[in-house]
Amino acid sequence: MKFILDYLKGILIGCGAILPGISSGVFCVIFGIYEKLVNSILNLFKDFKKNFLFLLPIGLGSITGILFFGKMLNFLFNTYSMPTNFCFMGLICGSIPLLMKKANAKTSGFRLHYIIFLLSAFAFGIICIKLENILSNLIQIDLNSNSYFYFVLAGFLMSIGIVVPGISSTVVLMCLGVYSYYLNAIANIDFSILLPMGIGVLLGSIIFLKIIQFLLHKYYPQTFYAIIGFVLGSIFVLYPGINFGPEGALAVILFIVSFWIGLKLEKLENSGNS
DSSP for 91-154 reads: HHHHHHHHHHHHHTTTSSS--TTHHHHHHHHHHHHHHHHHHHHHHHHH------TT-HHHHHHH
Cα of first residue to Cα of last residue in the chain, in angstroms, is 9
In 3D, which of 253, 226, 205 has the Cα closest to residue 44? 205
Q: How far apart are CA 149 and CA 9, in angstroms?
A: 32
3-class SS of residue 206: helix
Measured distance CA(160)–CA(172) in Å, rounded: 8
Q: What is the pLDDT of residue 249?
A: 92
What HEC string does 20-68 produce? CCCCHHHHHHHCCCHHHHHHHHHCCCCCHHHHHHHHHHHHHHHHHHHHH
* Structural contact between residues 226 and 113, judged by C-beta atoms closer than 8 angstroms: no
Distances (CA, A) of 155 to 146, 183, 199, 200: 15, 13, 7, 4
* Rounded distance between C-alpha atoms, residue 237 and residue 166, angstroms: 10
pLDDT at residue 254, as a whole number: 93
Per-residue pLDDT of the chain (274 residues; tens, 9 = 90+): 778 888 888 887 887 766 655 667 777 877 778 888 888 888 888 888 888 998 999 989 888 887 777 677 777 777 888 898 898 888 888 888 878 887 887 776 778 888 999 999 888 877 776 666 565 555 556 666 568 888 898 899 888 877 877 676 776 777 777 877 887 887 788 888 889 999 999 999 889 889 988 988 888 888 888 888 888 877 777 777 888 888 999 999 999 998 988 887 656 555 545 4
- 139, amino acid identity: I
pLDDT at 270: 52
> What's the CA gap between 102 and 121, in Å, rounded?
17
Res 191: pLDDT:
86
Amino acid sitting at position 13: I
Instruction: Please check whether residue 62 is in contact with residue 41, taking contact to mean a CB–CB distance below 8 angstroms.
Output: no
Report the run of H or E that residue 243 belongs to, with start and end. none
CB within 8 Å of 83: residues ≥ 6 apart:
247, 250, 251, 254
Looking at the structure of the chain, the number of domains it has is 1
**pLDDT at position 251:** 92
Return d(Cα 36, Cα 160) in angstroms, integer: 18
Domain that holds residue 140: 2-273
